[in-house]
Amino acid sequence: MTSILDLATDREREYLEAVKKHGSQPDAAKALGVNKRTLERGLARLKRRAARRGYSPEHDMVKTAPDGFLVKGTSTLYTNGDDGTKVAAQWVKTSIDGERQAELVREAVLAACENIKPEKPVGLPKASNSELLNLYVITDYHLGARCWPEETGDDPWDTDIAEDLLVRWFGAAIKSSPEADTAVLAQLGDFLDHDGLIPVTPTSGNIMDADSRYQKMARVAIRVLRRVVGMLLSKHQRVHVLMAEGNHDITSSVWLREIFYELYRDEPRVTVDRSADIYYCVEHGEVSLFFHHGHLKKPRAGIESVFAAKFREVFGRTKHSYAHMGHLHHIDVKENELMVVEQHRTLSARNAHESRGGWISGRDAKVVTYHRKFGRVGEQVISPQMV
C-alpha cells in the first residue's frame, strides 16, 4: 500500500518524520532549524503533488497512478452499513503527466548516452577570418512528414526528400558563405514532425501526416545532422551546435541535444548547447545572438525583453543584438529599441494543415554573417530550387 512517504523527496520525508517525532509542524521546524513557513509550504506542495498522483486519504483516494501519469478524476461509490459509510467501489481516471514524462525521457537519454562512442577529432581547415561568424539557420524542417502535391499545391515531401535536400542545401550554403572561423548551426525546433510512436503533436494532439516510423525518423535525423556537422567542420575552425525545442519535438529535442553533446565531447572544435531552457544565446565579440522557436513567446510579444532578462550579462556587454525565431514559417523582421527580431521561413514543403488553412509562404533558409565588432554584415538566402 502506497504511503505519503513513498511520494516524498528526501527533504519532505525529513519534514514528515520530524512532525511525527515532535508532534506538530512548529515544533518540527524548530527542531530542524528551518522557518515554520518553509516547512508548511514544503508539506503543502507534497500534499498537492500526492493528490495529483491519486493519494489523498482524507478524500478516500489511495490508489496512485504510476510514475509519469497523473490522476485526472475519481468516482467513488459509498454505501451505508451498520458501522457507517463505506467505500463500495472507486473508479480512477488517469492521464499522462507531460512534465514528468519529459523528465523520465531525459533520464533515459542520459543513460543511453553513456554507451555512445564519440566522434574522433578531424583536421583543421585552412585559416579563415577570425572576425566573422556564419550563422546557419534551419527551422521547422518537419523531417518525417509526408506531403501530397495534389492536396497541398506544393512539392512532395517525405523522409528521403528531406534528407537529400538538407545535405544539398548545406553544400550550397557552405560553398557560398564567407570564410569565417566560427559557424553556428541554429536548428530552431520542429526538426522532427512528431514526437513519438503515435504521429500527433505533443501538446495539442493534432494528427500529423507521417511518412515513416518514429525510429526511422530518429535514425535519419541523427545521420543527416552528423553529416551536416562534419561538413561545417571542413570549412570552419569552430562549430557551435544548437538544437532548440519546438512544439512538434519537445521530447525529441532533448535526445538530439544529449546525443550530439556525447558524440562531440572529444572534438574540441565542436560545442553543443545542452541547456534544458528553451531560450538560447551565443556571444561573438560585441554581438549577441538569441534564439527561441517561437511557440511560447511570439516575435511581437516582448520576446526581446525575455532575452535581455535571461541573458542580462551578455546583453549588457554587447552592442549589437539579434534574435532568431521560427514556428510560423514566414518572414517577419522587426527592429525595436533592444534588438532586431527575425522570424525565418522553412525549407520544408507545405503540408495539408497549412494548405487547408490558407497559410502560404515561400521556402528558403539563410546563412547570416556577423562581424564581431560591426554586427550583421551579410546573408545568403538559398531556396530549395537553387540546390
Residue pLDDT, tens place only, 128-176: 899 999 999 999 999 999 999 999 999 999 999 999 999 999 999 999 9
Q: What is the 3-state secondary structure (H, E, C) of 230-293?
A: HHHHCCCCEEEEEECCCCCCCCHHHHHHHHHHHHCCCCCCEEEECCCCCCEEEEECCEEEEEEC
Beta bridge partners of 104: none
Please determine, for residue 66, whether its predicted confidence score (pLDDT) is greater than 90: no
What CA–CA distance (Å, rounded) separates 264 from 270? 6
Per the model's pLDDT, the better-predicted residue between 200 and 260 turns out to be: 260
Please determine, for residue 350, whether its predicted confidence score (pLDDT) is greater than 90: yes
What CA–CA distance (Å, rounded) separates 54 from 48? 10
Strand residue runs (E) in the chain? 69-81, 84-96, 132-138, 182-187, 238-243, 270-273, 280-284, 287-292, 320-325, 332-335, 340-343, 365-371, 375-382
Please determine, for residue 112, whether its predicted confidence score (pLDDT) is greater than 60: no
Average confidence (pLDDT) over 355-377 = 95
The domain ranges of the chain are: 4-96, 120-386
Cβ-Cβ contacts under 8 Å for 357 (sequence gap 6 or more):
none
Asked if residue 353 lies in contact with residue 145, where contact means CB atoms within 8 angstroms, the answer is no
For residue 239, the model assigns a pLDDT of 98
Distance of CA 341 to the CA centre of its chain: 20
Residue 110: pLDDT band (50, 70, 90) is low
For residue 383, the model assigns a pLDDT of 97
Question: Between 214-233 and 252-263, two packed helices, what is the crossing angle to 10 degrees?
Answer: 40
Percentage above 90 pLDDT, the chain: 64
Fold of the CATH domain 120-386: Purple Acid Phosphatase; chain A, domain 2 (3.60.21)
Residue 307: pLDDT band (50, 70, 90) is very high
Please determine, for residue 86, whether its predicted confidence score (pLDDT) is greater than 80: no
What is the DSSP-derived secondary structure letter of residue 191? -
What CA–CA distance (Å, rounded) separates 35 from 29? 6
Please determine, for residue 71, whether its predicted confidence score (pLDDT) is greater than 70: no
Instruction: Find cell 533520464 and name the residue.
Output: 107
Residue pLDDT, tens place only, 44-63: 988 888 887 788 777 777 77
